[in-house]
Amino acid sequence: MSTASAPETFDSWVGHDVTDVVKGELKFEPVPVKPWDEDDIDVKVTHCGLCGSDFSMLAGHFFPLLPQQVCGHEIVGEVTRIGSQVKDVKVGDRVGIGAQCDGCLECEWCVKGEEQFCPQMTFTLGAPYPRGNAKGTFSHGGFAKYWRGPARFAIPIPASLDSAEAAPLLCAGATVYSPLKYYGAGPGKNIGVVGIGGLGHVAVMLAKAMGASVTVLSRGEAKRDEAKQLGADDYIPTTKDAAADVKGRERSLDFIICTINPESLPASDYMTMLKPRGTFVLLGIVPKPLELSTMGMVVGVSGIAGSQIGSPAELKELMEFAAKHKIRPWVQKCSMDNINQAMADYQAGKPKYRIVLVNTDNGGTL
């Protein structure tokens, strides 16, 4: 495939400064496309989920904004072009791209298939490519008509998975699947899930499908019924008095996955629920430093850990698992043409639980 035949721009929804995200003013315009490498594919984007990290990126919380910032990292679409070195993907395949779109491919982590730990791990939503013709240029996400990047990070979507429901698995799903697997969710394990939103609702479904018992902690009674619908075995309505909320539940959980990022997280109180050697797993980046009581951790021999996205291999495994166990994230579909309204709805906390943007002119259905 020659570079001469490759398009030079992809029409995309672009953030230009940090106020764009607040005002909901992404602009639809052509964006120069990644220089072609022979391990690349082009994907006609049909769907793209809307994730909290897109907002953090567009708000400049992670890095300064690029001149043309294109976010979106729960991308599903059809492969329209492949490079000469691409082996496992063919034109016409339905694939997904999550939060990582490249790595150095040479370090110990890339070599052993844990590319998410590569020191040059490339975020899909606007980070420098570390290699090839694109070295030093920045990645663009899926708020666009087309996406280009290395085939290694494109995940096959099993035929039985709906594209809109597969999209949230690519970031939200991967972010909870990875720690559920690592900490051994399965029969006989009691797991806590803090927060029912884009990540938490998938965590409950996955943990149940793995055979674990699940206790949900969520503010007030608002989500009790929904937690039950998702399969949760128990529900703790949380208040401002976290110590009282969890009283009588001491040493009941093997590990806790915390999907929320409030201003101040009562981690020490929640950690009293951990069995000895249990782990409190943080997925959200808390703005302020955490205050932790070491007494509970030492006596309970419990720990606190972070977790992030999974590897491409884990994502493939998750897709197969989701197909086998009929995991269906709760999605609300919205035309990508209305992305600015969708972003306002997201910020108002309206989605239950994931907004998926759809390019109908590329074959996506609302």
- Residues at the contact surface with Zn ion, assessed by CB under 5 A: 51, 53, 103-104, 107, 110, 118, 171
Measure the N-to-C terminal CA separation of the chain; round to a whole number of Å. Answer: 33
Q: Spell out the long-range contacts of 31-34 with Cβ–Cβ below 8 A and sequence spacing 24 or more.
A: 31/68, 31/70, 31/140, 31/144, 32/8, 32/68, 33/6, 33/7, 33/8, 33/9, 33/140, 33/146, 33/148, 34/129, 34/134, 34/137, 34/139, 34/140, 34/148, 34/149
Q: Which residues of 212-232 are buried (b: 16+ CB within 10 A; e: fewer)?
A: bbbbbbbbeeebbebbeebeb
Give the whole-angstrom CA distance, residue 141 versus residue 48.
Answer: 9
- The distance of closest approach from Cβ of residue 204 to Zn ion in the complex, given in angstroms and rounded to an integer, is 18
Least separation, in Å, of the C-beta of 247 and Zn ion?
34
Smallest gap, in angstroms, from Cβ of residue 73 to Zn ion? 5
Tell the smallest beta-carbon distance from residue 7 to Zn ion (Å).
Answer: 27
Lookup: tokens for 247: 């009283």
241 Cβ contact partners less than 8 Å away, ≥ 6 residues apart: none
Nearer to Zn ion, 167 or 204 (CB): 167
Q: Report which of 164, 284, 185 is spatially closest to residue 231, judged by C-alpha positions.
A: 185
For residue 211, give both structure tokens: 């055979």
Q: Which two structure tokens, joined as six digits, stand for 289?
A: 């430093």
CA dihedral for 171, 183, 259, 365, sign (positive or negative)? positive
Helix, coil or strand: residue 36 = coil
Annotate 44-85 with DSSP letters as a single string: EEEEEE--HHHHHHHTTSSSPPPSSB----SEEEEEEEE-TT
Smallest separation, CB 47 to Zn ion (Å): 14
Give the residues across from 257 on adjacent strands. Answer: 193, 281
For Zn ion, the closer of residues 132 and 303 by Cβ is 132
Which residues have CB under 8 Å from 137's CB, separation 6+? 34, 35, 128, 129
Of 6 and 107, CB closest to Zn ion = 107
Shortest distance (Å) from residue 110 CB to Zn ion:
3
**Residue 346 C-beta: closest distance to Zn ion, Å:** 12
For Zn ion, which is the closer residue by CB, 138 or 235?
A: 138
- State the minimum distance, in angstroms, from the CB of residue 298 to Zn ion: 34
Least distance CB 71 / Zn ion (angstroms): 9
* CB neighbourhood size of 29 (10 A): 13
The residue (of 71 and 230) whose beta carbon lies closer to Zn ion is 71
What type of residue sits at position 143? F
Q: With respect to Zn ion, which residue has the nearer C-beta, 62 or 80?
A: 62
Q: Identify which of residues 98 and 278 has a Cβ nearer to Zn ion in the complex.
A: 98
